[in-house]
Amino acid sequence: MRWVDLVKVEARIAPLKAARPGDGRGSQSARVSVTETGGQLSRSSTGGVARLVAGGVWTIATADRLEPSIDEAVNTLRGTVEIDLGSIVQIDTAGAWLITRLERELSARGVSVSLVSASENARRLLEALAPAERDVPPPPETIGVVQELLEAVGRTMVRSWEDLKSGLGILGGVVRGLSIGLRHPRRMRFTSIIFHMEQTGLRAVPIIALMSFLIGAIIAQQSAYQLAYFGADIFVVDLVGILVLRELGVLLTAIMVAGRSGSAFTAEIGSMKMREEIDALSVIGLDPLHVLILPRLIALILVLPLLTFIADVCALAGGGMMSWAYLGLPPDTFITRLRDAVALNTLFVGLIKAPFMALIIGIVAAAEGLRVAGSAESLGTHTTSSVVKSIFMVIVVDGIFAMYFAAVRY
């Protein structure tokens, strides 16, 4: 679907959605003026026989004003009724339906109805509608709020369990794919891996560098103020160094990558799923996991540590610049102090986490992508939940690593 069409679709869908909770009416502004001469249903009676005379325009444009008079006639008329269609000047399926409905509902109440002087057109239309369904099926039963709430909780639990299963399934497939790849390196899709490294890695460098630089600067500036109360402003260097290298560098990079590439990844796989492209791959004899998911995952795992390193360096640069500006700490002093304060293992604590986070982002994105069903709405839902879940999981894993490193005193 092209963009032009999409805009049109959006514009047409919007009033529908907006109107749903209310009375089912569309927007006022888009309405088109209807034919001035409306339709009428007038009533007279001669000798025990009630006559209904339908006249004027009976089309979908006048249907809303005709409907009440039909309902009224159904509710009040008894005995024998003759419906005269002679003075209808224009009729379409909506008008014909109203007449059919009038006739049927009157008959259902034991009134004997006859239609007279219908034009050729009206007769043909009425005949076309004659076999139409008699009653509209009842709407599905609504359940109470409490029950709905309970049901939602249950559904969420079941779905979380399924998330876990499908995530593990993909992980297993990826491990198998990797082992095959290691034994037969020619089966690895290197072009694809390089392409995705460019997409998720190289193209993310500017935004990640800028973001980290600002974060480093903000931390330095805020802590400079607070530490100055104790005359301990030199500790800004320790604070920025440890915080950025151990936690923030990798965490913020992972969050940015989840938002930027995880969502793209879900949307790509999801829309391929929607259009049966995934099925086409399997039929051709290609494993979608191998063709689509593995290269993206490998690219992500290779690229996230590199991005994290860039983020670390940029954040330190931002912190150093702020220390210079606010504390008058020249860059060479900052670097010397940093070397004393921060051991190399601090950097590694951050970098070690990166591949695991990449794995989580990739697996969550793939699992969500493969779960997209036929509709555009489902694509949107799963893309959103891919980003939300992977950011959440990244933070959880970061917490687990923090406990682990504390326990092993690294």
Partner 1 sequence: MRGAGKNPEEVIRGRGITVGFGDRLILDNLDIDVYRGEILGVVGASGTGKSVLLRTILGLQPMRAGEVEVLGVPYSDAAPAARSAVDRRLGVLFQHGALFSSLTVLQNVQVPMREHLRLSPRLMDELARLKIELVGLAPDAADKMPSELSGGMIKRAGLARALALDPDIVFLDEPTSGLDPIGAADFDALIETLRDTLGLTVFMVTHDLDSLYTACDRIAVLGDRRVLIEGTMGDMMAFNHPWVQQYFRGTRARRLGA
Give the residues lining the site for partner 1 (CB under 8 A): 1, 4-5, 8-9, 12-13, 15-16, 19, 23-27, 30-32, 59-61, 63-64, 67, 92-94, 97-98, 101, 121, 124-125, 128-129, 131-133, 136-137, 274, 373-378
Residue closer to partner 1 by CB (options 198, 279) is 279
Nearest residue (CB) to partner 1, 332 versus 377: 377
Which residue, 61 or 237, is less far from partner 1 as judged by CB?
61
Q: Considering the complex, what minimum distance in angstroms separates the CB of residue 6 from partner 1?
A: 11
Helix (H) or strand (E) holding 52: strand 49-58
396, with CB counted inside 10 A (0-12, 13-18, 19+), is exposed
CB of 119 to partner 1, least distance (A): 11
Is residue 42 within 8 A of residue 52, CB to CB? The reply is yes
CA distances from 33 to 62, 64, 93, 243 (A): 11, 13, 20, 65
Closer to partner 1 by CB, 7 or 168: give it: 7
Kindly state the smallest distance separating residue 155's Cβ from partner 1, in Å: 19
Minimum separation from the CB atom of position 189 to partner 1 (A): 30
Helices (H), 285-375: 288, 294-327, 331-341, 344-370
| CA pair distance 76, 72, nearest whole angstrom | 6
Q: Which structure tokens are listed for 199?
A: 């997409």
> CB-wise, 16 or 175, nearer to partner 1?
16
Q: How far is the CB of 170 from partner 1 (least distance, A)?
A: 23
Q: How far apart are CA 24 and CA 15, in angstroms?
A: 10
Q: Are the C-beta atoms of 342 and 247 separated by less than 8 Å? A: no
CA-wise closest residue to 213 among 104, 343, 322: 322
Which residue matches tokens 């993206």? 296
Task: Say if CB 350 and CB 251 are below 8 A apart.
Answer: no
Q: DSSP code of 2?
A: -
Closer by beta carbon to partner 1, 28 or else 191:
28
The distance of closest approach from Cβ of residue 68 to partner 1 in the complex, given in angstroms and rounded to an integer, is 9
96 contacts 125 by C-beta, under 8 angstroms: yes
Q: Closest CB to partner 1 among 86 and 172?
A: 86
Q: Which is nearer to partner 1, 2 or 186 (CB)?
A: 2
Q: What is the smallest separation between the CB atom of 131 and partner 1, expressed in angstroms?
A: 8
In whole angstroms, the minimum distance from the beta carbon of 112 to partner 1 comes to: 24
Place of tokens 């982002």: 361
Q: By C-alpha distance, which of 348, 362, 360, 392 is closest to 249?
A: 348
Nearest approach, Cβ of 347 to partner 1 (angstroms)? 47
Whether 281 and 393 have beta carbons less than 8 Å apart is answered as no
Tell me whether residue 8 or residue 339 sits nearer to partner 1 (CB atom): 8
- Looking at residue 384, the DSSP 8-state letter turns out to be H
